[in-house]
Amino acid sequence: MFCTKRITEDLYWVGVNDRRLAMFEGVYSVPNGVSYNSYLLIDKQTVLIDTTDKAMTHRFIENVVGMLGSVQLDYLIVQHVEPDHSAALKEIINLYPDVKVVCNDKSLSLIKQFYDLDIDSNAYIVKENDILCTGKHNLKFLMAPMVHWPEVMLTYDAESKTLFSADAFGCFGALNGALFSDEVDFNKDYMDEARRYYANIVGKYGTQVGALLGKAASLDIEMICPLHGFVWRSNIKTIVEKYSLWSDYQAEEKGVMIAYASVYGNTENAAEILAGKLRDSGIRTIMYDVSVTPSSEIVSAVFRWSHLVFASTTYNAGIFITMDALIEDLVAHNIQNRTVGIIENGSWAPTSGGLISAKLSKCKNITFIDKTVSIKSGLKIHQLKEIESLAESIISTFPDVKKAISNNSESSIAQNRLEPATMFKLSYGLFVITAKDKNKDNGCIVNTVTQITEKPFRISVAVNKMNLTHDMIIESKEFNVSILSEKAQFKVFEHFGFQSGRDVNKFLNCKTENRSENGIVYVPNYTNGVISAKVSESYDYGTHTIFIADVTQAFVLSDDKSVTYQYYFDNIKPKPAISKEQKKGMVCRICGYVYEGESLPDDFICPLCKHGPEDFEPI
Ligand code: FEO
């Protein structure tokens, strides 16, 4: 039975998923499978865009025939001849002998190289900016050589503002029912695989990807249909911005990736100590054993992080086998613009460090930290200073981070932490954010509503993911902001802020007839204005999602002054009543919850207001 998905009124996904493939291109593990996307446009004339892999041809043909029925296929556009997208070419031509195979000169010769196929009579050769009119749609062809093969071309449909992007903007992972990136939590669940796909498949060709981005910038694009992974119809900026960084070999994040090769654990030990020193200074670190983690994951991490440390034992007078393979892989992927530190080990003739730096010197704009640590067999106490010195040199390239190396006493670490109290100097307001689903109204307190633009009126708000209201906004893409005034009493904050809508119905005993035009309830008392908004974009920021939203309605309820965070602390929040027995402990600045213990666990979350340890202070 065919299994397809509708994308627009006349465009269908007719691709397939492969969850049995162990190694993509024979080298990249794909534990979550992979999709081979193909698209069918049913216009006055019918157009198939690319085919599929040999292993999936049967199911793919079922999809195409299932959609076309007795209708003929007029065109097959071959954007990319790599066999994971062209293996069903012969079957398609056998089924539809009159089909025109739309390709360029290079693809034609590659098709002939790969397949015993008399293709000339079917071939329909196109060049840059040629347009194929299919009825309502005009398909324009854009050459994108070396993204990822020399024959690659993209197809742009101005009618639907869709870019069929071949390998660009693809992602590893089979599609599990969802076709669009906005149907999943892409940043959390798929961005790593999108990066691994980019880095390993097209990472070497940053210049060519940059050229493609340049062409794309001149197009009005509302949807991107790649050959692997999800279709992008919203938040396109998210993936385009990542491609811009990756193609320019700019790191996404400041932090240190430490890759080590260790036969008996001694090189690993040195790497671990270095990681600990860096963390003490608040620098983010991630570690990989190159003999355990597949190279494709480490290459991907290298594209992500700004600083790299390679720690390797010496083996056969060279670099350890798996580290050598990784370094060669990085050079082949054209990695650039990174700061690199090195630890070498060798019981009688350590040479791996010099060999690693010689190889990486072939890459552009690599800054080596001039403090290579050389170990003979195992790190000794007198060498700790060398590790500290390497750490200090790395830290000195993080301008926002202070040193906390040699004396890692608590006071020294505390000194170097960010002062959370600074954040309370910001002049926040306080708001009730309300949203609804089919069965329920809900609301929570936030302090993060900000106007972004005036024309049009647009606001942003960051909402904690633990709040039910957050999930409702993700689902419905709409919310109201009730702006709290100085008349708001503590019970309002208690009601909306210190209990979860997952446990109680916050509107059970409230009047709910006060609704704005979007049907969402607002809080009429203790507030001075209401804003209704529709989410246009959302960004995943770990604990919170930032929603960018267009204002659809806004009205004033009173002339009372808006409450600020400071006013809340000074005049509304009751001072915590601490009994004599509770001499030790921490109290939440936000809601007054008392934690009886000398220090809070790092991952502690206030059970009442969901704030973290940074909002607690000693009693
Ligand atoms: Fe999925 Fe370059 O092919």
**Which carries the bigger pLDDT value, residue 427 or residue 362?**
362
Terminal Cα-to-Cα distance of the chain (whole angstroms): 67
State the closest ligand 1 atom to the C-alpha of 152, by its place in the atom list counted from 1.
2
Q: How far, in Å, is the centroid of ligand 1 from the Cα of 30?
A: 14
344 touches ligand 1 (CB under 6 Å): no
What backbone torsions phi and psi does residue 305 show, to the nearest 5 degrees? -100, 150
pLDDT of residue 404: 57
pLDDT surpasses 60 at 581 = no
H or E element at residue 303: helix 295-304
Q: State mean pLDDT over 564-584.
A: 73
Angle subtended at Cα 469 by Cα 468 and Cα 471, rounded to the nearest 5 degrees? 65
pLDDT surpasses 60 at 328 = yes
Q: How far, in Å, is the centroid of ligand 1 from the Cα of 447?
A: 46
pLDDT band at 508 (very low <50, low <70, confident <90, very high): confident
pLDDT surpasses 80 at 511 = no
Question: 161 by DSSP, 3-state: which?
Answer: coil
Spatial neighbors of 438 by CB under 8 A, at least 6 apart, are none
List the structure tokens of 456: 């049009």
137 touches ligand 1 (CB under 6 Å): no
pLDDT of residue 316: 95
pLDDT band at 415 (very low <50, low <70, confident <90, very high): very low
Choose the most confident range, by mean pLDDT, from 71-75, 382-386, 395-399, 591-595. Answer: 71-75
80 touches ligand 1 (CB under 6 Å): yes
pLDDT of residue 402: 62
228 touches ligand 1 (CB under 6 Å): yes
State the closest ligand 1 atom to the C-alpha of 202, by its place in the atom list counted from 1.
2
Q: How far, in Å, is the centroid of ligand 1 from the Cα of 323?
A: 27
pLDDT of residue 616: 81
Q: How far, in Å, is the centroid of ligand 1 from the Cα of 5?
A: 21
Ligand 1, atom 3: closest residue by C-alpha: 82
Dihedral angle sign, alpha carbons of residues 26, 27, 29, 32: negative
pLDDT of residue 409: 40
Residue 325's alpha-carbon distances to 45, 214, 298, in angstroms, are 50, 33, 11
Cα(232)–Cα(237) distance, integer angstroms: 10
pLDDT of residue 349: 93
pLDDT surpasses 70 at 405 = no
Nearest to 355 by CA among 393, 327, 385: 327
Task: Give tens-digit pLDDT for 169-221.
Answer: 999 999 999 999 999 999 999 999 999 999 999 999 999 999 999 999 999 99
Task: Give tens-digit pLDDT for 252-275.
Answer: 999 999 999 999 999 999 999 999
pLDDT of residue 79: 98
Q: How far, in Å, is the centroid of ligand 1 from the Cα of 242?
A: 19
**Which carries the bigger pLDDT value, residue 480 or residue 399?**
480
Nearest to 575 by CA among 598, 561, 562, 594: 594
State the closest ligand 1 atom to the C-alpha of 149, by its place in the atom list counted from 1.
2
Nearest to 477 by CA among 260, 251, 234: 234
pLDDT band at 156 (very low <50, low <70, confident <90, very high): very high
State the closest ligand 1 atom to the C-alpha of 201, by its place in the atom list counted from 1.
2
Q: How far, in Å, is the centroid of ligand 1 from the Cα of 167?
A: 5
pLDDT of residue 165: 97
Report yes or no: 327 and 310 within 8 Å, Cβ to Cβ. yes
Report yes or no: 35 and 50 within 8 Å, Cβ to Cβ. no
Q: How far, in Å, is the centroid of ligand 1 from the Cα of 340?
A: 31
Cα(258)–Cα(298) distance, integer angstroms: 10
